[in-house]
């Protein structure tokens, strides 16, 4: 009788018109929109301050972002919707409007003051991005299928393509980058409004409510319900008395291979793009290619990264871990060596076509394998409770950002070490 009553009251909720997927695509776009706008405004910042200012800005942003993501792993599942979405979005919108306003008063405000304000904006941006990123991936991991997590990755690729295309358009038509910031603020307002829709749609409310319910039954000591209640994961019985550190360590042990894969994927990509790719010399010096060759490489990377992220949604291929390991770890690492040889063409046959082809392949593989890794990590946690799923989403995001950070720093080392080797060979030659 009880079983019949349970089945009677069971309601199947579906994502009508794929609205939740579309919203998570918008949230994926918003995750790195702020960072993309800053990093693609290097011409503006180098003109206002000094040549190596972007290296300092990148280090400041990524450091605060990583610290924030570590915090999100442990407390992200306990944060309120307002903290995860509303506060970061409001901050992003305001900060993107502050920079153009400051540019109108460059003659009146000392550069030291504007530099300090920009640094403070970047520090807070790093923390805000970590909250939004961790929250978006954590919420996407709550759903039973991997489609929403895939749409987040798709959105990240889409925004990179849009920003690169917009940057090329602005550079072609006007030197005023203020329109760039205004457009970004307008888009973030759309993303903020779409995030509120997740609270109204029955499909997303169902899984968000389950997550809140499981978080609320825990107390401050980390006990989850009665000590006598146990649950089974992979045929192993555990007591529901796991604190945050034990949860995080347990999830890391389950996801350690995928954490490593996502780290290597973005480490290789960021070791080359945009640092190394922006300094590659063209084989047509003295022409318009001097200015446009780096822009072409960046646009190709963003375009084919976006193409790579669309492939998992169109073609279902069940990859074994060994295939991912060999391609991601051993295959893509060769890009670092090959692009390094093209910093000084004396090392290799100088031709613009080869770096262009390599950039296309690197973009496709980055987009494709990053989506595959996120999806497979999501499936591995399908038997977990919602709290562990959110922690898993935050953890994958953390290692992705570690790969981006280490790769960005490594690109500086690769550039200078290549210059030293080149000068040594030149002296010997």
- Arithmetic mean of pLDDT, 332-360: 82
* Number of neighbouring beta carbons within 10 Å of residue 256: 12
Whether residue 45 is predicted with pLDDT greater than 70 in this model: the reply is yes
Q: Which of 153, 132, 62, 37 is nearest to 407 (CA)?
A: 62
* Predicted pLDDT at 5: 42
Q: Which of 198-202, 231-235, 357-361, 401-405 has the lowest mean pLDDT?
A: 231-235
The domain locations on the chain are 17-217+244-428
CA distances, 126 to each of 13, 22, 32, 133, 183 (Å): 36, 25, 10, 10, 21
* Confidence class for position 222, pLDDT limits 50, 70, 90: very low
Give 63-87 pLDDT, tens digit per residue. Answer: 888 888 888 877 877 777 788 888 9
Residue with tokens 């000094």: 50
- Averaged pLDDT score across all residues of the chain: 78
pLDDT, one tens digit per residue, over 114-141 is: 888 888 988 998 888 888 888 888 888 8
Question: Of 405, 305, 428, 417, which is closest to residue 55 (Cα–Cα)?
Answer: 405
- Segment 150-165 shows an average pLDDT of 83
pLDDT at position 12, please?
Answer: 66
Q: Is 111 helix (H, G, I), strand (E, B) or coil?
A: helix
- CATH homologous superfamily of 17-217+244-428 equals MFS general substrate transporter like domains (1.20.1250.20)
Q: Is 225 left (phi over 0), alpha (psi -120 to 50) or beta?
A: left
Helix residue ranges per DSSP H, 76-110: 81, 87-103
pLDDT of residue 221 exceeding 50: no
Q: What pLDDT, on a 0 to 100 scale, did the predictor assign at position 259? A: 92
* The pLDDT of residue 211 is above 60: no
Across 226-233, average pLDDT:
35
Axis-axis angle for helices 289-314, 353-380 (nearest 10): 30
Residue 268: which pLDDT band, with cuts at 50, 70 and 90? very high
Identify whether the C-beta of residue 396 lies closer than 8 Å to the C-beta of residue 134.
Answer: no
Is the pLDDT at 146 greater than 80? The verdict is no
* DSSP code, position 110: -
Calculate what percentage of the chain has a pLDDT beyond 90.
8
Q: Is the pLDDT of residue 20 over 90?
A: no
Q: What is the DSSP string of 348-373?
A: S---THHHHHHHHHHHHHHHHHHHHH
Q: What is the mean predicted confidence (pLDDT) over 326-339?
A: 84
How is residue 346 annotated by DSSP?
Answer: G
pLDDT number for residue 233: 36
User: Is the model more confident about 93 or about 162?
Assistant: 93
Quote the CA–CA distance of 362 and 259 in Å, as a whole number: 20
Residue keyed to tokens 């076509």: 353
Place of tokens 């070490």: 417
Q: Which pLDDT does position 78 carry in this prediction?
A: 77
Say what the pLDDT of residue 198 is.
81
The confidence score (pLDDT) of residue 171 equals 67
Separation between Cα atoms, residue 337 and residue 342, nearest integer Å? 9
- What span, in angstroms and rounded, lies between the C-alpha atoms of 27 and 36? 14
Copy the structure tokens of residue 322: 């060994």
Rounded mean pLDDT of 137-157? 82
* Cβ 282 vs Cβ 289: under 8 Å: yes
First-to-last alpha carbon distance for the chain, in angstroms, is 90
Q: Whole-prediction pTM value?
A: 0.75
DSSP H stretches of helix in 198-288: 202-216, 244-272
Quickly state the pLDDT bin for 230 (edges 50, 70, 90). Answer: very low
Section 223-242 average pLDDT? 37
Query: Does pLDDT of 366 surpass 80?
Result: yes
């Amino acid at each position: 009788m009880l079983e019949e009553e349970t089945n009677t009251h069971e309601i199947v909720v579906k994502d009508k018109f794929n609205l939740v997927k579309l919203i998570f695509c918008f949230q994926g776009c918003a995750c790195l929109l702020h960072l993309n706008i800053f990093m693609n405004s290097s011409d503006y910042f180098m003109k206002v301050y000094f040549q190596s200012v972007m290296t300092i800005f990148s280090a400041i942003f990524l450091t605060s972002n990583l610290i924030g993501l570590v915090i999100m792993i442990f407390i992200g599942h306990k944060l309120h919707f307002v903290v995860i979405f509303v506060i970061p979005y409001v901050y992003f919108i305001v900060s993107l409007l502050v920079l153009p306003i400051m540019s109108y008063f460059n003659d009146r405000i000392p550069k030291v003051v504007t530099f300090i304000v920009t640094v403070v904006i970047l520090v807070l941006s790093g923390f805000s991005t970590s909250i939004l990123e961790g929250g978006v991936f954590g919420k996407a991991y709550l759903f039973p299928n991997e489609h929403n997590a895939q749409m987040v990755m798709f959105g990240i690729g889409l925004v990179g393509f849009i920003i690169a295309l917009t940057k090329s358009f602005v550079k072609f038509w006007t030197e005023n980058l203020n329109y760039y910031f205004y457009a970004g603020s307008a888009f973030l307002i759309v993303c903020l409004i779409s995030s509120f829709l997740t609270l109204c749609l029955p499909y997303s409310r169902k899984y968000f409510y389950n997550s809140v319910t499981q978080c609320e039954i825990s107390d401050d000591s980390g006990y989850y319900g009665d000590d006598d209640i146990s649950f089974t994961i992979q045929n192993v019985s555990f007591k529901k008395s796991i604190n945050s550190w034990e949860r995080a360590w347990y999830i890391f042990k389950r996801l350690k291979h995928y954490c490593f894969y996502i780290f290597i994927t973005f480490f290789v990509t960021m070791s080359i793009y945009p640092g190394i790719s922006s300094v590659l010399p063209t084989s047509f010096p003295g022409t318009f290619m001097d200015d446009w060759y780096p822009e072409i490489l960046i646009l190709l990377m963003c375009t084919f990264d976006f193409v790579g992220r669309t492939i998992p949604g169109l073609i279902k291929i069940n990859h074994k871990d060994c295939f991912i390991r060999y391609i991601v770890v051993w295959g893509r690492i060769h890009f670092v060596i090959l692009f390094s040889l093209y910093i000084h063409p004396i090392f290799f046959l100088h031709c613009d076509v080869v770096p262009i082809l390599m950039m296309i392949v690197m973009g496709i593989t980055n987009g494709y394998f990053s989506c595959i890794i996120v999806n497979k990590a999501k499936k591995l946690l399908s038997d977990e409770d919602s709290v562990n799923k959110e922690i898993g989403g935050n953890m994958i995001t953390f290692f992705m950002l570690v790969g981006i950070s280490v790769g960005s720093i490594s690109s500086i080392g690769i550039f200078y070490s290549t210059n030293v080797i080149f000068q040594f060979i030149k002296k010997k030659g």
